[in-house]
Structure 1
């Protein structure tokens, strides 16, 4: 389908040819107009009360209900064509209870008072059945009720209100920039999510939330026909907890990479056309780039790259359920056990200050309240290099001697039970003024890395290997040219103890994971990781193109 043939078909919602593993995608297909409908809060409160009253009457000592309407829209293009557009909706309710000291859960898509009452009764019956084999009773950290409150992602414009033709035109215009620049192949996509969630509990909370997320992305590939070599460069965008205003570029949000690289980073808005133009140029340069010589290098890591390393080696490693071994069946446990923490070993150098934050504006994890009615906040995980806390929810707090939840409980949909999920986990920027160029000037032999790439980490979140999107050699304080085939290897303690410096707040940006998997059955969540450009000294770099042995 050509662009000129498509403009008049703004109501199209085709069957999905390809949908990623993102919560909400793959739900019932609907017209784009239906995505703009809302549900009266008074109706949701009446349904919630039906569930709570039924649970108490059935013998539950505690109950909460989540009434959810999960909306999504995705647009896929390739070269000059629209590949797919899908608009989806999923709605229903999940009821969680404690009876006889044990959890029970049931979900329903029957959004009537009778339907929710039946789900509550089923959840209570399940809890009572589970109590016969439960060894320890559930202990919930106390939580006051907030009454009737609401929270909404502070967006300027809902992406769902923007005509599909306008979104298609933007993506195809971006593809056109790549093709004009000499790209051999290009695909682009735009994902939009809206979670309309209503939470109520026997603690006395009635919380209505409207959460928005957006992710523009692309991949550009260049092929050298004479040699048969090809290279690709992905978008340097970050998925954000924002509306369509993210795709309206603002000059103040642009952050230049080190002199000689030509890279540009983005803060709270994103220039898709600028990034894809640069990506096309860099994809062609990558074909001719020098292959890295293995050895020890000082690494200067861009925030769009470092976020993934933070996610895997700190974010997952400090989830309390993983630390306790409850999550061992999905990607392992953690080396940072309670016993390890008692030994007071440094997690990193004194430069390393890691904060968890569910309130950070524009982040994927930003909410007003979590999925068990706890007000969102922030707390230290690593302070001056030392592990000081974990991520925990209401039924975990007592295990570490605390009397409150961190507010990081989440379920990917109404039909899934909520459990501990990663909040935004970020590296604080340096206090002293330092630009990226200032940092590079202090590097004698190093590599600058931007963008996410392939990675691998072991079952204890300890030994790892990370690649990237683009790499530049640093020699005697200057960028000297592009490199290829770069990956670095380390263990978590060794790596974070090699952290030597981080740029100041002016360079701070967010990386995002739109579909972070965890749990059995598996669930997906979205989370951001912020940092400024950061230097790590003496890290082992390998050449991924060389054969071993």
Structure 2
């Protein structure tokens, strides 16, 4: 589903041009993000955000103005166009409004948008990773596991006829393991992530990454010190 209807995009740009702009650029963005953290085998934090807004930049005789709004209704966007163009409202646009044509792009295939997956499934995944890391060795004293995703949709249109949109979705897992023995402390971390949806975890085992981090932290306890001396 597009962020804005094509007719509304056209109407906003034409409104700004009629108000006196020489050049108009409309930028619309929706951004969803979420982060979850587990420490000491307990959920410590769950935070989510959902931002939606539009910015309108106009140029009139070398003067640039910019206005931002979170009201993406037709009335709200047209009001924003009028406000942004006030600086040039007496000049009249010097450039014609070109037909909007989309630029070619390679769409990012997302099978499972992460914002459609409830926090319960993500928390279960993190708790499994926490347990897997702790089961590696009694030397593992602390484990911190985190999940995060961001999904961004962008639309850009200009009075020169450019009209483009893009979407970027990223998911990431973060695992930090701390091993301790006889007062010596070693840490290790894994942080896999990709530009994919939640299907990332269909072939990515959070538990395996957790075990890898824990095993590396334990190995570091037995590692010999690096040789000292002048560099060759």
Task: Mark yes or no: TM-score above 0.5.
Answer: yes
* CA deviation map 1:368-391 (0-9, x unaligned): xxxxxxxxxxxxxxxxxxxxxxxx
The alignment status of 1:247 with 2:201, answered yes or no, reads yes
User: Which structure has the bigger radius of gyration?
Assistant: 2
Aligned 8 A contact 2:3 2:28 in 1: no
What secondary structure, in the 3-state scheme, does the structure 2 residue paired with 1:153 have?
Answer: coil
* CA deviation map 1:328-379 (0-9, x unaligned): xxxxxxxxxxxxxxxxxxxxxxxxxxxxxxxxxxxxxxxxxxxxxxxxxxxx
What secondary structure, in the 3-state scheme, does the structure 2 residue paired with 1:168 have?
Answer: helix
Deviation at 1:172, TM superposition (A): 0.5
Partners in 2 of 1:195 and 1:42 — Cα distance? 11
Give 1:388-407 correspondences, 5 Å limit: none
Where in structure 1 are there 5+ consecutive unaligned residues?
A: 1-39, 129-142, 250-269, 298-549
- CA spacing shift, 1:48–1:87, aligned 2, 3 Å: same
Partners in 2 of 1:72 and 1:198 — Cα distance? 18
Deviation at 1:118, TM superposition (A): 2.9
Aligned 8 A contact 2:100 2:157 in 1: no
Aligned 8 A contact 2:103 2:163 in 1: yes
Aligned 8 A contact 2:33 2:148 in 1: yes
* CA deviation map 1:49-89 (0-9, x unaligned): 33312221222221111222211122211132111222221
Partners in 2 of 1:277 and 1:100 — Cα distance? 62
What secondary structure, in the 3-state scheme, does the structure 2 residue paired with 1:290 have?
Answer: coil
- CA spacing shift, 1:236–1:217, aligned 2, 3 Å: closer
- CA spacing shift, 1:176–1:100, aligned 2, 3 Å: same
What is the aligned counterpart of 2:180 among 220, 223, 242? 223
Count of matched residue pairs: 220
The alignment status of 1:106 with 2:67, answered yes or no, reads yes
Deviation at 1:294, TM superposition (A): 5.6
Partners in 2 of 1:90 and 1:144 — Cα distance? 29
* CA deviation map 1:16-56 (0-9, x unaligned): xxxxxxxxxxxxxxxxxxxxxxxx53844344233312221
- CA spacing shift, 1:42–1:215, aligned 2, 3 Å: closer
Partners in 1 of 2:196 and 2:63 — Cα distance? 38
Match of 1:273 in 2: 207
Match of 1:290 in 2: 224
Match of 1:545 in 2: none
Match of 1:146 in 2: 101
TM-score normalised over the length of structure 1: 0.37
**Structure number having the greater strand percentage:** 2
Where in structure 2 are there 5+ consecutive unaligned residues?
A: 89-97
Give 1:130-209 correspondences, 5 Å limit: 146-147=101-102, 152-182=107-137, 183-209=140-166
Structure with the bigger RCO (C-alpha within 8 Å, sep 6+) is 2
**Structure number having the greater helix percentage:** 2
